[in-house]
Structure 1
Amino acid sequence: MAKVTKDMGILDIVQQHPEAVQVFQKYGMGCLGCAAARFENLEAGARVHGFDPDQMCDDINALIGEE
C-alpha cells in the first residue's frame, strides 16, 4: 500500500490503515471521532495539537511497513 503523507486526510489514513489509530492514540489525539477529522489532513491536525507532522508520518509508515 502507499506511503502515508502529511497531506492525506486523517480519516483517509485510518480507513486505509486501521492500525494507524495506535499512532494517533500515542500522541493523545482523540480526534478520530471529531468532526474536524473528516476535513483535516494529518499536517493540520498534528499542528493544532502541537506535534511534528513529519514525525507522525514516520511513525505511521514505520508501523504499516512503508518506511
Structure 2
Amino acid sequence: MITKDTIIMDVLMMDRNTAGIFMEHGMHCIGCPSASGESISDACAVHGIDADKLVEDLNKYFANK
C-alpha cells in the first residue's frame, strides 16, 4: 500500500508504469534526483499537487494489477 510518506522512487521501482500516474497529476520531475529521497507528500507540497488524490490513484492502480 502506498502512503503519502512513500518515497517516489520506491513506487517507481515497484512498477515503472506508475510514472504515467505521477505525470497525470502534474508531477513531471519524477526523474530528478530529489525523487530518489523525497516522499510523495513532500513533492506534492512543493508542486501544489493533491497528495491524497495521487496516493488514491496509485493504490487503485496496484489494486487492479
- Equivalent residue pairs, number: 64
Of 18, 21, 36, 1:20 maps to: 18
Give every structure 1 segment of 4 or more consecutive aligned residues whose post-TM-superposition deviation is greater than 4 Å: none
Secondary structure class of the residue paired with 2:11: helix
Alignment of 1:42 onto 2:46 = no
TM-score, normalised with respect to structure 2: 0.87
Q: CA RMSD in A?
A: 1.3
TM-score, normalised with respect to structure 1: 0.84
Alignment of 1:54 onto 2:52 = yes
Amino acid at match of 1:4: I
Aligned to 1:30: 28
